[in-house]
Structure 1
């Protein structure tokens, strides 16, 4: 995700993969590493989404020759990004202290789960474990005895955003001083730093479903249709009055049982019943439009298909971009959410087929001769 952001904004990102063990997210289902004889490493939707705009080279990193090729490539690059646990690159002879000798200007970005220092620096982790360890999982669920994990790799994305920012900052520092540096990013710390005001409540902060400590009502209400829902947040009494007007119950705006946020929290059974009775008669989009027209924050709960195929806001802004993949075919990619007027990012190319750019990268970037590339390929070092 870090290098996706950098690539979207113009970086030439070279994805280096082991020829014997490619990026496991190339395979579907990617977490199961299923690699039967007919498994194609180029058709996984997740991989192709986050690796657009990149080039791919495949090396046999189990051999000394493969590591030598990688070292020579790194010597000609500005940035190295890796997210192994803290000991892996050192065992390969590719730690920062070693690589700075061949490339003093290198910006070396490490994104391990725990960081490269501390008693747990060697721990292996994934997004779910850092979300749990960083405090996020403790806040998700319906109560302290009904905690649920975050369903996708939120910790990965948070760390990727932090790493992309750190990379740009380090490159700016290098432009002023000529010196590279090591960025030691802990995914655990990235998630913990992302927790915001939730940490201020101390140990008494527990999962509370969809409710809010001061806004009322806040929740998700069933709408017309199968599994259709509306999210609503009422921040003050003025918005509550607007909601009461929309649902045809204006008297509840001044009713002592519901006129204040504290009163509404005490009467949540009544509030939920009245609001739910209204939402069940309407499509979620229609209900959201009606409430928004009166200044009430509301929105339909959408899944991935609805976002891509039906959301009018994303469609109007051209968020999804069609690109043709040489193996997977044409599909829509998430767009670039940051829109700069002078230097806009773009989705230039679909994700690379495994090893598609090995020869051209080694010749153009690392200065290898065509003959040397041929010899390495014949020796099985390159794919």
Structure 2
């Protein structure tokens, strides 16, 4: 009996060596992880949008180049086109969208309260916003930086010469915080003239209620086009911040965030692969390149993974064009802003930028 007991203990010990002890601090895989990967959880936001029959997209109240209404009351702009592209990906119709104009101060409240489905309003991705528990950033569609607009008559060469200046800035924006950091760190005295909206800040600058207007450089370029004597104003060379702008969704619906992320990515990747608004249907039918076939739904089930049709990317590109086409007509050489691509060039362009399409595979 004693020998048998020892043999049994030895056998148990040998078996134990094949099963390492569990690490109490390790995350254990959950049952059904394979099924979850194969069949994504349905997005309640996407389901509500489909029932409603339209996308509710939060945009700027009026910023030339990004979101504004033309003389016929039609919404135009860079962010507006991304909203239209998302509507096209969902419904096959870029007009199935309602634009909700929002200020910097009420934009996040509108999102978290469910009055909009996505916020596409030149919003900077920051750590505080990302870790606050309510917001989810779906990607970056524009790389910007903060600068200063001044009158040429002041004969300034740098923002460091704004000692004692009155500086107009929008309330509730990162611009106010960045400007305070910039001047305080350099010991430069200034008086912040804080206005409730970007439009109010632009108008105050136009009335000469302040000596400089600070905002993202793209916003300053837009503001300059609205001034009657635009050539009498200049953007100083100083860039005092990094502003990564992109769409924001509500935290807690990861599948919806993925729909927004991959629709934006499809428009970026389309430019890289030479797929345009004019040729997208032809490329969908005739392309032999695997990466184009996957993007345009000729191979794989990527639309199904998002809860969309297999032509989701074709519909988005057909509706608004690729990233380069969207940029050129709203911000680039085909627009009043005439902004260079700069950091917003494709990663493989010459010179290269930071725009990089994630692989669909």
User: TM-score, normalising length from structure 1?
Assistant: 0.23
User: TM-score, normalising length from structure 2?
Assistant: 0.24
